[in-house]
Amino acid sequence: MFTQEHWYVSDNPVRYASAMQKLALFCVLFVTVNAHAATVTVSPPDIFLNVGEETLAQVFVSGVESPGLTFFQFDLVYDPTVINLFDPNDLPGSSFFNFEPFQPLGGQLSCETFRGAPCLDAEWFLTSTGRGPTFFGKGIPASTPGPTIDNTLGRVSITYLTEGDQPPAPTGTGALAIFGVRAVGSGDTTINFENVLLEGTTFELVNVLTPLIETNPVVFDTTSVPGMVTVAPIPVPAAFWLFGSTLGLLGWLKRRE
């Protein structure tokens, strides 16, 4: 805490400036450490499939406070012998509709046509206030690549940001990404989060030849809640068992003769 001496406003501009710098530093540290906390989750939290089946799941964030979310990255880690993950937007026509990889399509008029089914996507939280998305590796010089899928190691990496300070960045709760789950083997696996980073930093692009400039950096304290996938073996049709029992009966009758 500041002593009475720190608060004393004297005629000495050096002492006054020093006191104000300490006060500003105290305020910044307090806000950064205590005011920003968010949670990322998989929805639905429990997924049940048979081998060969597919479904969609989404990553949600909650508890995003001012100044709002302008950047996120995370890895989804899973057992690739049980499930594979895929980008549900990696279909013919995605470039025509200007859909980004793993972008939730809620609110898009073409979502139902593109999905070929009723659109159950949530609205994309990152762009919900009218900001435009950019992901690293799409013409923006940066060391981090864009969304990647590795179904050999069992890892999907997703990174997106928005530039500038207008419109205001979104706060509250919303969907960060949508992904497909394909059951490839029986068993259980978690979908864990790694390398999670959520920021309310302002990013400015000077030109395409230079990296993005960060101003007013704000990093959210983040907790993550994994999802769970249970995959059952392919059920054997009842007709198969009936056919097998019939063959067994015929064999038994043949031996009797």
CATH number of 37-235: 2.60.40.680
Which residue carries 């690293």 as its tokens?
136
User: Strand 221-225 and strand 37-43: pairing?
Assistant: parallel
* Tokens coding 68: 């709002």
pTM above 0.85, yes or no: no
| Domain residue extents for the chain | 1-34, 37-235
Report angle CA 59, 52, 49 to the nearest 5 degrees: 50
Q: Confirm if 235 and 201 have CB atoms less than 8 A apart.
A: no
* Tokens coding 67: 């100044």
Instruction: Note down pLDDT in tens along the chain; length 257 residues.
Output: 333 333 333 344 444 344 444 333 333 333 343 346 899 999 999 999 999 999 999 999 999 999 999 999 999 999 999 999 999 998 876 667 778 899 999 988 888 888 888 889 999 999 999 998 876 533 344 445 568 999 999 999 999 988 887 899 999 999 999 999 999 999 999 999 999 999 998 777 665 555 567 777 799 999 999 999 999 998 766 544 455 555 554 454 455 55
As a whole number of angstroms, the distance between CA 100 and CA 24 comes to 40
